[in-house]
Amino acid sequence: MHMQLLHTDRVVMFDRTNFGSSNISLPNGECVHDPDDPPSRLDCTAHSVEYDVASNSVRPLTLSTNIWCSSGAVLPDGTLVQTGGNGRGDHAVRLFKPCTGKNDDNNNSSCNWQETTKALSQRRWYATSQILPDRRQIIVGGRDKFNYEFYPKKTAGEGSYNLPFLYQTFQSGKENNLYPFVLLNTDGNLFIFANNRAILFNHTNSRVIRTYPTLPGGDPRNYPSTGSAVLLPLNSSSTAEVLVCGGAPTGSYESAYNNRDFVEALNTCGRIRINDPDPHWAMETMPLSRVMGDMLLLPDGNVLIINGAASGTAAWELGRGPVLSPVLYYPENQPGSRFEVQNPTSTPRMYHSSAILLRDGRVIVGGSNPHEFYNFTDVLFPTDLTLESFSPPYLDPQLGYLRPRILSPVSGSYAGYGQDVMIRFSVGSGRVVESEIMVTMIAPAFATHSFSMNQRLLILDGWDVKAVGRFKYQVRVTMPGSGNFAPGGYYLLFVVHRDIPSEGIWIHIS
């Protein structure tokens, strides 16, 4: 249900704690009593794991509060801060500080979840988290919560702040404004999209800066109508653009829940320049209708749309027609030529599945559980706890001779805002031309319920590409100028040559 790549190249994954027993035991005979579990029993199985990409292995982690439909963001020091959930977990904050050793002790408390049950002022279930330039995170909304709060708190008594926009976009019995799309604009304000509307919001003084036009068609795009959204790649001269795709037409949830009538999902995307003097939505048509799809920014600057269903909505048993074919979206192409359908998988990824980008350029996809509990047999879409990887076209082995390899700096290096950094790389063969080189940085996302929180792609200003040896080159790039453009923390940096990205390295910016 939830995934986050950390700078250790490990992925923290977790699920609802009261689904029933998982197939992974907690270490050393450990058991947890979860008061939210209907049988009120001891559970000796793990509902969170740390997945080591390199060794393709998992390490069980211990959770004692229910993280069902929660949110998260990574602090600048690399700590995953995970907020809210259900039951005893709805006010909780959980910290996961990444382990750095190769032989981590499963019993080491620093390598496991650290939970505080009453850290939030409000119940946060289906809320959204966004890391801010001041190193804190903002937690926006949640079921029946028309407000926001921050973590960490500036003072012990700091509470929540009203956000009337969430009430204005609420539909009683339907909602359609849960997991709002929250994106950090380059001026430090927040673009917040809920239902079919959006605002630009100054979170420091709780003021709406701008109200955007309603998305044409008026159909909802947030849970349970569950479309997805991304902030398109940024460079120092570009205007910030938001892309919202998919979802379910008005009334789809009621039709599916009350009448078992599964309405075809939306096949439209809206794109808007959020800082234009007179912003408006430009609509586009996807080749496939999709609800519950995930949208990921790829290191070559394109967008992957993957997972989801062709009809119905999010929520238990309410989706039909798995969409097995991913779609690539090329933002720089002309309208009408931006979508490209990819080869299909054979595995349905329905409600409660997720997807994230890995350092090697693959996309890891996992999960699917549209049932109230784990249900592996005799149902239309069995619970699926497997992982698989999607390889974008740039990983085609026949293109290997074009693929760069970063020689320096080394992974884990630090860089300051506005600093010039020299990057050395090699290419298998051929002459490298400056116009064919691009350097990108991606903030890894917290993925859940079709929205990748904190996802961000920056195209760095670069110049002076020159050869420094046989098939070896260097390029000078400038780091982003402020935390408004790139909140401090760990990013994946890629050299892209003729649209083929290298394997990434970790860069810490502050």
Distance CA 481, CA 315 (A): 41
Higher per-residue confidence, 216 vs 464:
216
Give the pLDDT confidence of 212-265 residue by residue, as tens digits.
999 999 999 999 999 999 999 999 887 899 999 999 999 999 999 999 999 999
Count other C-beta atoms under 10 Å from residue 386's C-beta.
10
Using only the alpha carbons of the chain, give its radius of gyration: 22
Question: How is residue 154 annotated by DSSP?
Answer: S
CATH number for the segment(s) 213-395? 2.130.10.80
Which pLDDT value is given to residue 101? 59
Distance CA 320, CA 310 (A): 6
What pairs with residue 447 in β-bridges?
3, 452
Q: Is the pLDDT of residue 38 over 80?
A: no
Count other C-beta atoms under 10 Å from residue 157's C-beta.
7
Distance CA 500, CA 283 (A): 29
Distance CA 186, CA 200 (A): 11
Count other C-beta atoms under 10 Å from residue 28's C-beta.
7
Nearest CA among 170, 148, 143, 123 for reference residue 449: 143
The mean per-residue pLDDT over the stretch 425-439 comes to: 88
Q: Is the pLDDT of residue 40 over 70?
A: no
Single pTM value for the model: 0.96
Cα dist from 381 to 220, 348, 371, whole Å = 25, 8, 9
DSSP letters along 274-326, please?
A: TTSSS---EEEE-SS--BS-EEEE-TTS-EEEE--EEEE-SSTT-EEEE----
The mean per-residue pLDDT over the stretch 408-415 comes to: 94
Longest dimension (CA), the chain: 68
Q: Is the pLDDT of residue 59 over 70?
A: yes
Residue 169: which residues within 8 A CB-CB, separation 6 or more?
176, 177, 194, 195, 196, 197
On whether the CB atoms of residues 471 and 429 are closer than 8 A, the answer is yes
Distance CA 48, CA 60 (A): 6
pLDDT confidence band for 109 (50 / 70 / 90): low
3-state SS of 161-198?
EECHHHHHCCECCCECCECCEEEECCCCCEEEEECCEE
The mean per-residue pLDDT over the stretch 376-403 comes to: 95
Which pLDDT value is given to residue 116? 95
- Give pairs for 280-285: CB < 8 Å, separation 24+: 280/213, 281/212, 281/213, 281/215, 281/216, 282/335, 283/216, 283/217, 284/335, 284/338, 284/339
Q: Is the pLDDT of residue 307 over 80?
A: yes
Mean pLDDT of the residues in the chain: 94
* Residue ranges per structural domain of the chain: 213-395, 399-509
Q: Is the pLDDT of residue 28 over 90?
A: no
The strand order across the sheet containing 228-231 reads: 228-231, 241-245, 268-273, 282-285
The mean per-residue pLDDT over the stretch 158-164 comes to: 96
Give the CA angle between residues 196, 73, 52 to the nearest 5°. Answer: 120
Is the bond preceding residue 152 a cis peptide, omega within 30 degrees?
yes
Give the CA angle between residues 288, 344, 10 to the nearest 5°. Answer: 105
Q: For residue 43, give the 3-state DSSP assignment.
A: strand
Query: Could you say which of 3.40.50.970, 3.40.50.920, 1.10.1040.50, 2.60.40.10 is the CATH number of the domain covering 399-509?
Result: 2.60.40.10
Instruction: Provide the total of helices (H) and of strands (E) in the chain, helices listed first.
Output: 2, 43
Distance CA 258, CA 174 (A): 12
Q: Strands 505-509 and 413-415: what pairing?
A: parallel
The mean per-residue pLDDT over the stretch 132-160 comes to: 95
Give the pLDDT confidence of 83-106 residue by residue, as tens digits.
999 998 999 999 999 987 554 444
On whether the CB atoms of residues 271 and 284 are closer than 8 A, the answer is yes
Structure-token match 């938001």, residue found:
242
